[in-house]
Amino acid sequence: MPAVPAHAAKTTGDLMVTHVRPNAAGADVKNGKQINLNDEFFVIKNVTKKTVNVGGYVPDITTNTYGRALPAYKLPAGATARVHTGTGKNHKDSKGVHHIYRGYARHVLPNDGRSKTPNLRLKKPGSKDNNAAAGTISSCSWNVAANGKTYTC
Ligand SMILES: [Ca+2]
Ligand SMILES: [Ca+2]
């Protein structure tokens, strides 16, 4: 058996939050404009043996109420998707990683996660973005996130 990390990601549902990059590489703001939004992301994995439509799942960032449900996207069995903060066309890249875009015009994941635990909850479709636990299937916590660094949940 491979060693299991002390804080291994887990889920009680079909999707699991496995990684997060809370702090996009480089500056978040340039000339008063929020930039590099798509280098801020979290990673979800379909832990089932069937395709799951991620549409409607609610990523609830526990320090704000910007939460919008994920767009419809069919994530194959066992596949992983980066869920980007900014705008783009949802797709699968040449390495087999899926990319889903949330369409914000600003960064939404706190670079400093010390004020809350967890920092991100993934909730079942129909759940509220109310910074509370109801509907949570998987979650992620971090501390002070370095520029462009990806963390394991
Ligand atoms: Ca951020
Ligand atoms: Ca929230």
Residue 5 pLDDT > 60:
no
DSSP state of 146: P
Within a domain: residue 1? no
Task: Give DSSP secondary structure letters for 41-82.
Answer: EEEEEE-SSS-EE-TT-EEEETT-S---PPPP-EEPTT-EEE
Tally of structural domains, the chain? 1
Indicate the residue type of 40: E
Residue 25 identity (one-letter amino acid): A
Instruction: Give the Å distance between the CA of 33 and the centre of ligand 2.
Output: 23
Rounded Cα distance, 108 and 66, in Å? 7
Q: Is residue 5 part of a domain?
A: no
Residue 133 lies in a domain: yes
* Per-residue pLDDT tens over the stretch 73-117: 999 999 999 999 999 999 999 999 999 999 999 999 999 999 999
Residue 153 lies in a domain: no
Annotate 19-47 with DSSP letters as a single string: EEE-S-SS-SEETTEE--GGGSEEEEEE-
Ligand having the closest approach to the CA of 29: 1
CATH of the domain at 70: 2.60.40
Query: pLDDT tens across 30-63, in order?
Result: 999 999 999 999 999 999 999 999 999 999 999 9
**The pLDDT of residue 67:** 82
The pTM of the full predicted model, rounded to 2 decimals, is: 0.94
pLDDT in tens, 105-144: 999 999 999 999 999 999 999 999 999 999 999 999 999 9
* 25 domain residue, yes or no: yes
**Domain membership flag for residue 8:** no
Query: What residue has token string 């590099």?
Result: 36
More confident residue, 112 or 66: 112
Average pLDDT estimate for 3-12: 73
Structure confidence at residue 104 (pLDDT): 96
Judge whether 139 lies within some domain: yes
**Cα of 76 to ligand 2 centre, how many Å?**
27
For residue 77, is it within any domain?
A: yes
In which domain, by residue range, is 125 found?
A: 15-145
Is the pLDDT at 3 greater than 80? The verdict is no
Neighbours of ion ligand 1 (CB under 5 A): 22, 40, 107, 109, 111
Residues in the chain: 153
Closest CA to 142 of 109, 123, 119: 119
